[in-house]
Amino acid sequence: MNSGKAPYEIWEHTADIGILAHGKTLEELFCNAALGMFDIICGKVQRGESAKKSGAKAPATDQRRSIDLSARVLDSLMVDWLSELLYLFSAFRFFGAKYEIKVKRTAHGSGGWQARGEVEGATYDRKKHGYGADVKAVTYHMLEVKQENEEWTARVLFDI
């Protein structure tokens, strides 16, 4: 993002933790929400442009996973996206680091949304990737995905 704003902010809520993700596009928003979730799980990990500027290296990736999701409403698609990534982490220790995703409205029947793409990552290594909080679930509590003044934002709360 060129606006100078952080791609996401982490905030705490009673017995939970959340993110407020930002993006100029839906794709950027979904990627930044995923980065925020993994930074909660693994502690702050520098990636992409911020890593280049600081001289730090982004996590090495050696695996790719395909994601294909659909939902009737955009808020649910965000929960499904993050829940799928959390499932891959919990079941296979797959740590997502780079995202190529396309988010669009579907033309089927009464409408809906679709997210399709690839996630690059690696097997989670606590020593290499760090450790933050144990995210148990992505919740609908306080969930909000909206566009305002040409910027998308998502507020997502995680059960820890």
For position 55, what pLDDT does the model report?
42
CA distance readout (Å), 110 to 72, 73, 77, 78, 80: 8, 11, 16, 19, 19
pTM above 0.75, yes or no: yes
| Section 131-138 average pLDDT | 90
In this structure, are residues 30 and 23 in contact, taking their beta carbons and an 8 Å threshold?
yes
For position 54, what pLDDT does the model report?
39
For position 3, what pLDDT does the model report?
57
Output the six-digit token pair for 37. 């979730």
For position 5, what pLDDT does the model report?
74
| Section 141-145 average pLDDT | 95
Instruction: Name the residue ranges covered by the structural domains of the chain.
Output: 8-159
pLDDT tens-digit readout, 18-72: 999 999 999 999 999 999 999 899 877 544 444 444 344 456 789 999 999 999 9
- Higher pLDDT: 145 or 5? It is 145
Which class is 8-159 in CATH?
alpha beta
